[in-house]
Amino acid sequence: MNESLAERRTTGKVDFRMRGVVGVWLRHYTAFKGGWMVEMTGIILEPLFILAAVAFGIGKLVGDVEIRDGGVGYAVFVAPGIVVGNAMWHALFECSWGAYRRLQTNRIYDSILAAPVSMRELALGEITWGATRALMTTAAVLAFATVTGLVESPWAIGILGIGLLTGFMFGGFGLIAAAVAPSTHMLTLVFTMVGTPLFFFSGTFFPISTLPSWVQPIAWALPLTHPVRIARALSTGDLHMGLLWSLLYLIVAALVFYPIATRLLRRRLLV
């Protein structure tokens, strides 16, 4: 190993290069293309089944739900949460389970770092690919929701950006989990103990105001609550200044998770 590469791997004190990030992203995109038909079933079909069940099944049994600017049908209320909720799932899976395989099982990271690519570039490339997967499912499910009449405002196009930000946030969190998980058995806790509670208690399926008063502050602190809140406002046209706080939450969380993931990934790979 030459001196400059050794320095990159042990200290990370090398200028950040965007081409390194792009290189990691292109590597994952190339692998994705090799099995895109199978990959797209998870990106498109699974969330569509959930949304269709709500729109044409449960939504017919539940009355209107009150939001800030009036009442909306239950299917209209739930659809934005399902859209960004699936963005969370895909980013979380790709950057935790997928990253763990590349890190521990297939040892792909060793090859990537020999390119050379710095640890910061590797981490951001991973998170960016996770965010790309989140954007794919956001676009597919949002299009279905629009066609089936579950979107009431042209502002809903902004949900694409929220899905991407959600991907960056949970991609960073997933990479942190991959870097600290001692085994795949422990990694499953990310989905059972983190992903599932977030999906069901972040205002996706019912207003947070229906929860007990002592639980509501906890629900508002959950990271998925804020993209759900913004997506619902964009979908229904119920825009207000309070959404800026939720947007700030998203951005800050993404910016915080990235350096933590980089540091933990460096420690894991250099052990």
Q: What does the pLDDT look like over 81-94, one tens digit per residue? A: 999 999 999 999 99
Tell me the C-alpha distance between 220 and 15, whole Å. 38
Q: pLDDT, tens digit, for every residue of 122-168?
A: 999 999 999 999 999 999 899 988 988 889 899 999 999 999 999 99
For residue 65, pLDDT beyond 50: yes
Number of compact structural domains in the chain: 1
Residue 6 binned pLDDT confidence (cut-offs 50, 70, 90): very low
Q: How confident is the model at residue 109 (pLDDT cuts 50, 70, 90)?
A: confident
User: To which residue do tokens 């390119």 refer?
Assistant: 115
Band (pLDDT 50/70/90 cuts) for residue 12 is: very low
Query: Rounded to two decimals, what is the model's pTM?
Result: 0.88
Cα–Cα distance for residue pair 90/183, rounded to 1 Å: 20
Average predicted confidence (pLDDT) for the chain: 86
- For position 13, what pLDDT does the model report? 53
Return the residue matching tokens 């993209």: 227
Q: What is the pLDDT, as a whole number, of residue 64?
A: 64
Residue 7 has pLDDT above 90, yes or no: no
| Spatial separation of the C-alpha atoms in residues 39 and 236, rounded to whole Å | 31
Q: Is the pLDDT of residue 2 over 70?
A: no
Burial class (CB in 10 A: 0-12, 13-18, 19+), 172: buried
Provide the pLDDT for residue 270: 76
Q: What's the rounded Cα separation, in Å, for the pair 164 and 49?
A: 22
| Mean pLDDT of all residues in 208-222 | 91
pLDDT at residue 216, rounded to an integer: 92
Q: How many CB atoms lie within 10 A of CB 248?
A: 11
**pLDDT score of 210 more than 90:** no
Range of the domain at 71: 3-269
Is the Cα torsion angle 80, 83, 86, 87 positive or negative in sign? negative
- Counting every residue, how long is the chain? 271
What's the average model confidence in pLDDT over 247-252? Answer: 96
Average pLDDT rounded to a whole number, residues 246-252: 96
Sign, Cα dihedral of 260, 262, 265, 270? negative
Q: Which tokens in the block code for residue 7?
A: 């320095």
**Cα torsion for 93, 96, 98, 103, to the nearest 10°?**
180
Task: Output 209 or 128, whichever has higher pLDDT.
Answer: 128
Confidence label for 60 from pLDDT (cuts 50, 70 and 90): low
Distance CA 239, CA 9 (A): 46
User: Region 239-268: what's the mean pLDDT?
Assistant: 94
Give me the mean pLDDT over the 44-54 stretch: 77
Identify the pLDDT of residue 1.
38
SS3 call for 142: helix
Angstrom distance (rounded) from CA 34 to CA 271: 32
Provide mean pLDDT across the span 205-227: 92
Residue 59 has pLDDT above 80, yes or no: no
Percent of the chain with pLDDT over 70: 87
